[in-house]
Structures are given as C-alpha cells and as structure tokens.
Amino acid sequence: MSLLHAISVSDIRARGTICEADVLALRRAFNEDGVIDSTEAEALFGLHRACSQQDATWADCFVEMLTEHVVNQAKPEGYVTAEKADWLLANISVDGIIGSRTEFELLVTILDKARWSPQGLVAFALDQIKRAVIDGAGPLRAGKGLEAGVIDEAEVELLKRILYAFGGDGNIAITRPEAEALFAIDAATIGKINAESWPDLFVKAIANCVMAASGYATPSREQALARETWLERRGDLSLGAVINGMANGILGGLLSAYRQQSGIERAIATLERQKVEIVTAQEIEVADAAWLAECIGRDGSISPNESALVAFLEANNAIIAPELSTLLARLRPAA
C-alpha cells in the first residue's frame, strides 16, 4: 500500500497537526511493503514543515522512513552520494541552518546507517554543533539554557556519533573539515566549564590527524577516540590533572593502535580513500602536517586542550612529521 493512500496529506496539512492515528496509519502502510519512493519522501518532509503540532511518535517515524529512503532505496544502495546529500540538505536546512532537532537527528542517523557519505554532509552536521556551541542558540540548544561558549556532554556525544559515522567501514583518519570544526569549538570554549569528556575527544581526534599526517596507519575511529578510563574517576579536573591523565593513561594504547605504514600500505590507503571519493562524488580533504602546524598554537597562543595534546603526543614518544615536531618543540614551554 502506498503511504499516500494510507493518509490524507491535504487534510493533515490543513489542520496543521500530526496525530498518533496518522503515524499509526503511516507505519501500517510502510510495514506492508517497506518502500518509500521519492514522491512519498517529499510528502513526509512537507508534512513535517506544515505541521507545528506533532505527536511524540512522529519524530521516530519520520527519521526511520526517510533514512530508509536515502540510505537503502535511492541508488547506490547503502551510500550517500553528493546528489543525495544536496537533496537532503535542501529539505532540512535554510541558509546553512538546520530546521529542527528532528531533522538533525535524521541527518545523523543517515550518517550512522550509510556505509559512506560525502565529506560535505559530515562537515554540515559538525557545523550545526559548532554554531550551537559558539552562538548558544538554534534548534540544538532549544530548552537547554546553556550559555554561548560552553559545550555539554550531549553535544560531545553528538560530535562522537558524527565522527564515528564518517569513519565508515574503513580507517580514514579525522579529516581537515572535521578538525576545523573541533579547533573552532575549542577556541570558543576556553575558560568555560565544559563537558568532562570534551578534552579527551578533542585530543584523541587531533592526535589522530597528527599521526596520519606523520605516515602512521590509523586504527578505526572507535578505537582511536575511545574514552579513557581516567575520565571515569570524577576527581581532580584541573588542567594539570587532565594533562597527566591523558599522558599517562594512553601510553600503551596509542603505541599499539598506530604503526608506521609501508609504501605499499600508503598506496592502498590512498586507493581506499579514492574509492570513497568515487562512490560519494566528493573529494576527501585530509589534514596534512603543514596545515596542522598552522592550527595548533595559532598566533602563538596555546589553549588548555592543545597543551593536553602536546603532552599526549610527547608521552607516546612517537616519530611525527618534521613540521609538527618543530611545532611541539616550540610549544613545549607553554604546555
């Protein structure tokens, strides 16, 4: 049964309300054939925009059905291409800003479910969190009452979901657009009482860039960004304690997770990245050593999280790219 035969779209739009009975009817129709075609997908977006009052069951239904359409029913199956991403963004955002928390959840769920997505789609998702943290406004901050320049645990978890999602089923290191968003959030949150897990995520993610730029084979993002056990001990959270916890807690783990690549392995990794670029029709922008050297300690000022990054890298005594090695030597007194 077609979804559009199960409900009266015009009646729902006219009353401006999606009720539980409407959601149940949609689910019954969807369960019969599991198909969401492009016309039905457009109708679902139209209902979401037209109805200011929505039953609590609508959000899950909306996300599930449209994720199925984008990821599994629009070719190529399992992947999000640049064309799919453009269509999605045209429906969930205006002038680069997401329309609602439900639409953001749809975006992140699609990134979760797809094998690969264009880098630009991931960058857009991260930009929404960056805007929420820096401006303290928008749908992701609705009802939170947080001041601008503070990042909370829920936002750190959203960042993790997005970073994990772009890792896909390979070992692609944190990319330049991803790192740019993290650097921007770090700069905006200096001196604030932020989520306890934020320094750990920032340091692990940027260290992942540094190691990849230095010729190391990178582990999966789940392994590279795994939360450290020292964070579970809610004791001293001063900068010194944070740096010591990172430096000491990861020593064995980092050395076992990263290793220098051979020439053949580098070539294979390049081919894997090119395969993703061909499927998604969008280039992956890597965070190279020269760019990272410009970002860390920019303008001669090093943030507390960058200090933790320096300590983290030095504790592991890894051989890193010359541009970064020189930078760490220059920043060592500040860290």
pLDDT of residue 24: 96
pLDDT in tens, 98-108: 999 999 999 99
| pLDDT above 50 (res 132) | yes
pLDDT in tens, 231-259: 444 444 455 555 555 555 544 455 567 88
Instruction: Compute the distance between CA of residue 174 and CA of residue 206 in angstroms, rounded to an integer.
Output: 7
- When pLDDT is cut at 50, 70 and 90, the band that residue 262 belongs to is confident
Pairing relationship of beta strands 53-54 and 93-94 according to DSSP bridges: unpaired
pLDDT of residue 87: 97
| pLDDT above 80 (res 51) | yes
Buried b (16+ CB within 10 A) or exposed e, 219-237: bbbebbbeebebbeeeeee
Instruction: Compute the distance between CA of residue 290 and CA of residue 122 in angstroms, rounded to an integer.
Output: 23
Instruction: Compute the distance between CA of residue 107 and CA of residue 120 in angstroms, rounded to an integer.
Output: 12
| In 147-267, beta strands by DSSP E | 216-217, 259-260
pLDDT of residue 242: 54
The answer to whether 240 and 311 have CB atoms below 8 angstroms apart is no
Least confident of 60-69, 179-188, 205-214, 263-272: 263-272
| pLDDT above 70 (res 128) | yes
pLDDT of residue 273: 87
Tokens of 180: 């740019």
Q: Does the pTM of the predicted model rise above 0.85?
A: yes
